[in-house]
Amino acid sequence: MKVEKKQNMYSIGQFAKIGNVTVKQLRYLEQKKILQPDLRNPENNYRYYSTHQLETLIYIKTLRDLGFELNQIVDIANAGSMQSLIDALQENIIGVRKEISGAMEKYENMVAHLIHINNCRSIIKEHTLLNKQNDIEIVGVPDTMLLYLRGYHSANVEQLFVDRMAVLKKYASDFNIAIEGTFIAIFHTNYHNQFSESYGDLETAFEIKRDGHAIDAKNEQFIRKVKAFKGVSAIHIGDYKNMRPLYQKMEAWAVDNGFELTGTAVEEYILGPDLVSNPDEYVTRLILPISVDS
């Protein structure tokens, strides 16, 4: 039986053009039973849409522009009330607000890393041009809260501590602990052991903010306070395995200037393998704490 096309009816192509959508999108809406053709010719399977269906299409497009998924649009349309749209909008606003917050956090993190890397590039340039590799000074380290791992480990410079860095970052994420500073290592026994196959008392850590809600009985054992101290300090540029001569110069400098070293060493990995792949671009601050009586 032949079906006559009614007046004010549009083929799927015409309807797509008028509604500023694609034919594929209309077929998808039909498949999901969101917008069915008003008329379908059984002989040639042609689809025809009526003028009043433009209202439905505009309604669907408006909701899509507001970020609603098709299943939400079906629910809103079936409910057929203003309140259902208000409820859906309020729910989506909460979701979008979370997305914006997450995007801003990611943006701020990227900007902070960009500034940090540019600062490190300036340090490398300064040390290269002015040969400041041997600049040694006394620095003060304030009271610091650390998220840390400590144990008897191989400290060899050929074996980077990225595994311990990953564990600490996961722990910080799991317990919502805010990391503030760069990754550090504290050598509680002879720091020269790292240039051999020896083992030693090694601590790896991140400086953190002390948020009361994040520090409780479950994780207090991984957090400790380091009291303020002073130390002999210098910046090393390049591969960790080449740090020993600078350590020796720092030790000699301490003796010449009447400072007594405690035997502990702190290495602050200002720019390391987590951000650059070329060891020649590593930037590390070495600190040899001095006795309080010095």
pTM: 0.71
In this structure, the answer to whether residues 36 and 142 fall within a common structural domain is no
In this structure, the answer to whether residues 168 and 29 fall within a common structural domain is no
Q: Is residue 172 part of a domain?
A: yes
Q: pLDDT tens, 29-67?
A: 888 888 888 888 777 888 889 888 888 888 888 888 888
In this structure, the answer to whether residues 262 and 141 fall within a common structural domain is yes
Q: Is residue 118 part of a domain?
A: no
Specify the CATH number for the domain of residue 35: 1.10.1660.10
In this structure, the answer to whether residues 64 and 174 fall within a common structural domain is no
In this structure, the answer to whether residues 50 and 151 fall within a common structural domain is no
Domain final residue, candidates 80, 112, 139? 80
Q: Is residue 212 part of a domain?
A: yes
Total domains, the chain: 2
Alpha-carbon distance values, 44 to 3, 41, 139, 188 (Å): 10, 6, 86, 84
Residue with tokens 């990953």: 166
- The parent domain of residue 30 ranges over 9-80
Domain final residue, candidates 62, 80, 98? 80
- Mean pLDDT of the 243-258 span: 94
The segment with the largest mean pLDDT, out of 127-136, 206-215, 228-237, is 228-237
Q: pLDDT tens, 16-29?
A: 998 888 999 899 88
In this structure, the answer to whether residues 68 and 137 fall within a common structural domain is no
pLDDT at 211 over 70: no
DSSP, collapsed to helix, strand or coil, labels residue 216 as coil
Alpha-carbon distance values, 254 to 210, 232, 248, 260, 291 (Å): 33, 7, 10, 7, 11
Residue with tokens 């994040």: 214
